[in-house]
Amino acid sequence: MPDHPLPEAGTSPARSGSVAAMRPVYDPGTLTELEGIFGRPRLMDLLDRLRTEIAQRLRAPASDRATLGHDAHTLLSVSGSLGFNELSGRCAEMERACLQGADLTRPLAAAQAAATNAIAAIEILRDRR
């Protein structure tokens, strides 16, 4: 068991956008498990790297499907492996929309909102070191 238990996962609005339907930003069980495997300093390093990756992605205009699809795929993988399932799921939707030639307005906005929520959650986790 870690020396410094991780806080409960924050929540973000679900796809519907209603405040009543909230989804966790990350899975605290996954982070606790990773902390047990790697130790807290390494986990914090991985979260810092995720934060940096998030900050660099999903900035291209909706017309740049290739870049957005690549960004979504990258974030889908890395965020999912660290338990940020909301971001991973929104990026999966974004990647699918890019590949299918679908309208990107909603998937891009949802992925960007999930990215913002993930960065905020990482900041809170860092502050509780």
Q: What domains are defined for the chain?
A: 11-127 (1.20.120)
Q: Please give the structure tokens belonging to residue 104.
A: 């990107």
For the segment 45-63, the average pLDDT, to the nearest whole number, is 95
The average confidence (pLDDT) of the chain is 86
pTM for this model (two decimals): 0.82
In this predicted structure, what is the pLDDT of residue 4? 42
Q: How confident is the model at residue 18 (pLDDT cuts 50, 70, 90)?
A: very low
Residue whose C-alpha is closest to residue 107's, from 53, 71, 55: 71
Neighbours of 37 (CB within 10 A): 9
Tell me the C-alpha distance between 10 and 27, whole Å: 9
At 99-114, the pLDDT tens digits run: 999 999 999 999 999 9
